[in-house]
């Protein structure tokens, strides 16, 4: 499980059931149990359902990225930490 907070992380959608979501990218500004809210570079907010996307999550601090299926992120950060 990915237990780290996602808010503030840069993400990019690598694949999705909804092809309109592919290549969407930006900063995660909020997270719910089933949804990521991302602010794109043009300032628009994009809602990404966790269950249908595969993401590249970039951590600017350690300059590493992680590819993860959004379905593994379902739940609140607190729920993910508890396992």
In this predicted structure, what is the pLDDT of residue 77?
73
| Alpha carbon separation from 63 to 26, 45, 53 (Å, rounded) | 16, 24, 22
Would you give per-residue pLDDT tens digits along the chain (83 residues)? 454 678 999 999 999 999 999 999 999 999 999 999 999 989 999 999 999 999 999 988 888 899 999 999 998 877 766 65
Residue 65 lies in a domain: yes
Residue 25 lies in a domain: yes
Residue 61 lies in a domain: yes
CATH of the domain at 44: 2.30.30.210
Residue 21 lies in a domain: yes
Provide the residue range defining the domain that includes 26.
Answer: 10-72
Whose CA is closest to 8, among 27, 35, 33? Answer: 27
pTM reported for the whole predicted model: 0.87
Residue 34 lies in a domain: yes
Question: Can you say how many angstroms the Cα of residue 58 is from the centroid of all Cα atoms in its chain?
Answer: 10
List CB contacts of 78: < 8 A, sequence separation 6 or more.
none
Give how many domains the chain has, as a whole number: 1
In this predicted structure, what is the pLDDT of residue 1?
42
In this predicted structure, what is the pLDDT of residue 45?
97
Residue 79 lies in a domain: no
Residue 1 lies in a domain: no
């Amino acid at each position: 499980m990915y237990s780290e907070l996602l808010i503030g992380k840069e993400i990019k959608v690598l694949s999705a059931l909804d092809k309109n979501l592919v290549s969407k990218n930006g900063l995660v500004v909020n997270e719910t149990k089933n949804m990521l809210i991302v602010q794109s570079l043009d300032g628009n907010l994009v809602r990404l359902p966790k269950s249908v996307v595969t993401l590249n999550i970039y951590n600017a601090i350690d300059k590493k990225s992680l590819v993860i299926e959004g379905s593994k992120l379902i739940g609140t950060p607190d729920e993910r930490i508890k396992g």
